[in-house]
Amino acid sequence: MAGQLKVGFLGYGTRGLDALMTHPDFQVNYFFAPRARICQDVRDARERYRGRFQYAEVENNRDLAARFAQARDVDCFVMNACPIILNQEVLDRMDVFNIHPGNLENNRGHHPHLWTVLLGETASRITLHAVNCRIDDGVVIKSVEEAISPEDSAGDVLNKLEDHIPELLDALYAYRTGSVTTPERVIHGGGYRRPMTYSDYEIHPDTDDAATAKRKILARSMHHGAFVAESGARYYVDRILGTAPAAEQGPAVRVDRQAGTVSVRLKQEAVLFHLGKIEIQNRGEAR
């Protein structure tokens, strides 16, 4: 019977790290965090597991290649949420397996769980695949499908999918120790969805309805929600407070800062939103 698999972790998606740390078949010897994404989750995880692995921050492929070249007593790395697109120099030094919260057939890219919500999809998959030089492509070790509700936010979708990480790790262990030798599938050239931009989650009074606005809010729930632009500002809204028949006269957008609301006339109804952040345009592009 094979013993523990010695691995490293790369990324800032610390649910993947937590799953590895608590899985009986893995021993985590390294944690490499992308410097551009050092956040409270990373700091908390480093403190939570202090002394149990070697920790380092990496900025680019050059840093990562050097770290991998020095890594000892490790079979492979598991990656979860890393903005560095690994190049061949890095992959020649280490086998890396990526956890991707989307279906590689049609939902590759940086924001898969956001697109799932924005497009109103009813199901998604979380996928563990062997990393190559292409984005979210290649040999799939294991994927698990999860039903998505119209009420789910992007955060809800990510949590539902990441609940299946232990199943992915079970499959990785079986694959790397030789008890399973055939991958689930191989996907090359699946559909890629670009990173979201402001235009994707701006609420447009002339063309959007309440359902579309709600999807935009839920898709950006992990940030500031959607926004409506008016008088040189972006007014971010994070939930719908109510609807009413649309008035035929008056401005399409009414902002009440004191009440903390934004009323928007969308097609045949007026929608009242809760006002969150206000961003003056051309003074920085906060996301």
Residue 251: the pLDDT is 87
- The pTM of this model reads 0.93
pLDDT of residue 248: 66
The mean of the pLDDT values for the chain is 95
CATH class of 5-193: alpha beta
User: In the 8-state DSSP scheme, what is residue 153?
Assistant: -
- Min mean pLDDT across 136-145, 217-226, 229-238, 275-284 is at 275-284
Question: Which fold is adopted by the domain 198-280?
Answer: Methionyl-tRNA Fmet Formyltransferase; Chain A, domain 2 (3.10.25)
User: What percentage of the chain has pLDDT greater than the value 70?
Assistant: 96
**Nearest-angstrom CA–CA distance, 184 and 190:** 15
Domain residue limits, the chain: 5-193, 198-280
Q: 200 near 165, Cβ under 8 Å?
A: no
pLDDT at residue 284 is higher than 90: no
Confidence of residue 101 (pLDDT cuts 50, 70, 90): very high
CA distance 54 to 68: 12
* 94-to-75, 87, 116, 163, 212 alpha-carbon distances in Å: 8, 11, 31, 27, 44
